[in-house]
Amino acid sequence: MTDSSSERIAAALRAWIETAPPGARLPSSRALVAQFEASPVTVQKALRALTRQGLVETRPGVGAFVRESRVLQPHDYGWQTTALGAPPRRIPQLSAALRVVPNDVIALHSGYPDADLLPSRLVRSALARAARAETALSRSPAAGLPELQSWFAAELAAVTARGLIAPKASDVVVLPGSQSGLSTLFRTLVGAGEALLIESPSYWGAILAAAQVGVRLVPIPAGPHGPDPADVEQAFARTGARAFYAQPNYANPTGAQWPPDVARRVLDIVRDHHAFLIEDDWAHDFGVTTESSPLAAHDDTGHVVYLRSLTKSVSPSVRVAGLIARGPARDRILDDVQAQSMYVSPTLQAAALDVVSQPGWQTHRRTLRDQLARRRDLLVAAMAGHAPAAQLEAVPPGGLNLWFRLPDATDLRRLTADCEDAGVIVAAGDDWFPAEPTGRYLRLNYAGPHPAAFADGARVVGKALSRD
């Protein structure tokens, strides 16, 4: 219980300490008892409070002194261990893919395209225009700027299968990046403790968001042709899951694109099970030999919830994504988005819309496709030449990455350390597995380092591999 007389004494001493030199001796307990007409217990309580607050230090048998700032020691935060308890679930550490590394290394690990591949001129002029626009000083509606909602809807509507109702602007929720969309979708469509189907391997950011929400992941093996629909059917039937998170186009990390018949069969299975397909079209703008073909374009029954990010293709600084959902699911999602982040900076929304509305955006995308193709093929060739032990399961038709299987005996930790010692950063494949990895893998980003460095990078990987 609070004790106002000890507090009164502590307050008076605090005022005295404010003006006293560090190291000054406080009046003795006996003197304080007399001065404040209080019991020794009360005086001791006041002194303990001041000690706890770091204002006073007590030397047993000598007295209490104003604490000197220069002897300050970092606190022991042990009390938090009890207050925090064990986390309800362990959120994995951030993947190596997000590591920021010095400029002088060959960075094959990153999940982002090099600045050379971004529409830099468009981004800078869009941001400059946004600085002058009304949006620089205003809020945004919770679901996003209507013009940007319309753009996201129109992009999907343009490819929506004939006979289906195209999405409307009001089906769109603008998000501060797709990562927050994943958290929201797992929270609203799945929920803690519930089952979520996920490809294996799959995007580590989705595995991270799933851990945060506490959903139970049900991994479905997925190779160069996506998952086997029979596996998907079985997993739904066995677990009663209500959702499947997938990247049907240029899956991260494998780069796989589902063949049309796999896409159709999975969509039918999802419908049969009255479930959601959470389609993460992260690499929509990174087609190399094909175009991204969203499953959402073949659904108007609210089964596919579609996520498209502009962060990677416009600029990592323009964190904007669009989510398209229909029916009550969209309302539930919007409620969560609002409670989580209120609204997205209208400056970023306006800048993103500006970039993708410029004629230069289409030119940029064409150039980008050529650059990605050249880079992809160069890295494939470099690895084949210098690191033949690393097996590429398939040359991906799009995305940013190559996914290599390594010999089973490979010590991944040693391999990545050896590469790093030689100035090459690579990402061990383990981060992309929702459960135990089924083999030793390496993900290399051909959109990251300058292609001139590919041969050197591959040589280092090959040398590290041959050491095993």
- Cβ neighbours around 188 below 10 Å, total: 22
- Cβ neighbours around 197 below 10 Å, total: 29
Please tell me whether residue 174 binds its own copies under the rule CB under 8 A: no
Provide, rounded to whole angstroms, the least separation between the CB of residue 234 and its own copies.
9
Q: Which of residues 386-425 bind its own copies (CB under 8 A)?
A: none
- 8 Å CB contact between 190 and 164: no
Please tell me whether residue 327 binds its own copies under the rule CB under 8 A: yes
Segment near its own copies (CB under 8 A); pick from 28-36, 320-328, 378-386, 398-406: 320-328
Please tell me whether residue 7 binds its own copies under the rule CB under 8 A: yes
Please tell me whether residue 80 binds its own copies under the rule CB under 8 A: yes
Q: Which of residues 234-293 bind its own copies (CB under 8 A)?
A: 242, 261, 264-265, 268-269, 271, 274-276
Please tell me whether residue 37 binds its own copies under the rule CB under 8 A: no
- 8 Å CB contact between 164 and 304: no
Interface pick for its own copies out of 144, 167, 176, 462 (rule CB under 8 A):
176
Interface pick for its own copies out of 27, 191, 224, 360 (rule CB under 8 A):
191
3-state SS of the chain is CCCHHHHHHHHHHHHHHHHCCCCCECCCHHHHHHHHCCCHHHHHHHHHHHHHCCCEEEECCCEEEECCHHHCCCCCCHHHHHHHCCCCCCCCCCCHHHCCCCCCCEECCCCCCCHHHCCHHHHHHHHHHHHHCHHHHCCCCCCCCHHHHHHHHHHHHCCCCCCCCCCCHHHEEEECCHHHHHHHHHHHHHCCCCEEEEEECCCHHHHHHHHHHCCEEEEEEEECCEECHHHHHHHHHHHCCCEEEECCCCCCCCCCCCCHHHHHHHHHHHHHCCCEEEEECCCCCCECCCCCCCHHHHCCCCCEEEEEECCCCCCCCCCCEEEECCCHHHHHHHHHHHHHHCCCCHHHHHHHHHHHHCHHHHHHHHHHHHHHHHHHHHHHHHHHHHCCCCEECCCCCECCEEEEECCCCCCHHHHHHHHHHCCEECEEHHHHCCCCCCCCEEEEECCCCCHHHHHHHHHHHHHHHHHC
Interface pick for its own copies out of 94, 384, 417, 435 (rule CB under 8 A):
94
Provide, rounded to whole angstroms, the least separation between the CB of residue 84 and its own copies.
6
Provide, rounded to whole angstroms, the least separation between the CB of residue 197 and its own copies.
14
Segment near its own copies (CB under 8 A); pick from 11-19, 363-371, 394-402, 452-460: 11-19
Provide, rounded to whole angstroms, the least separation between the CB of residue 300 and its own copies.
6
Please tell me whether residue 54 binds its own copies under the rule CB under 8 A: yes
Provide, rounded to whole angstroms, the least separation between the CB of residue 98 and its own copies.
7
Q: Which of residues 211-230 bind its own copies (CB under 8 A)?
A: 211-212, 229-230
Q: In terms of Cα–Cα distance, which of 449, 443, 441, 426 is closest to 378?
A: 449
Provide, rounded to whole angstroms, the least separation between the CB of residue 117 and its own copies.
10
Interface pick for its own copies out of 26, 33, 130, 195 (rule CB under 8 A):
130
Segment near its own copies (CB under 8 A); pick from 28-36, 176-184, 419-427, 455-463: 176-184
Provide, rounded to whole angstroms, the least separation between the CB of residue 149 and its own copies.
14
Segment near its own copies (CB under 8 A); pick from 28-36, 179-187, 359-367, 391-399: 179-187
Provide, rounded to whole angstroms, the least separation between the CB of residue 139 and its own copies.
4
Please tell me whether residue 170 binds its own copies under the rule CB under 8 A: no
Nearer to its own copies by C-beta: 214 or 223? 214
Interface pick for its own copies out of 42, 149, 183, 202 (rule CB under 8 A):
183
Segment near its own copies (CB under 8 A); pick from 47-55, 403-411, 416-424, 459-467: 47-55
Interface pick for its own copies out of 316, 360, 423, 437 (rule CB under 8 A):
316
- 8 Å CB contact between 214 and 89: yes
279 to each of 84, 198, 242, 265, 290, how far by Cα in Å?
A: 35, 11, 14, 15, 18
Interface pick for its own copies out of 107, 148, 174, 209 (rule CB under 8 A):
209
Provide, rounded to whole angstroms, the least separation between the CB of residue 145 and its own copies.
11
Interface pick for its own copies out of 31, 34, 41, 136 (rule CB under 8 A):
136
Q: How far apart are the first and last CA of the chain?
A: 65
**How many chain residues are in contact with its own copies, going by CB under 8 A?**
112
Q: Which of residues 329-358 bind its own copies (CB under 8 A)?
A: 329, 332, 335-336, 338-348
Interface pick for its own copies out of 12, 101, 142, 373 (rule CB under 8 A):
142
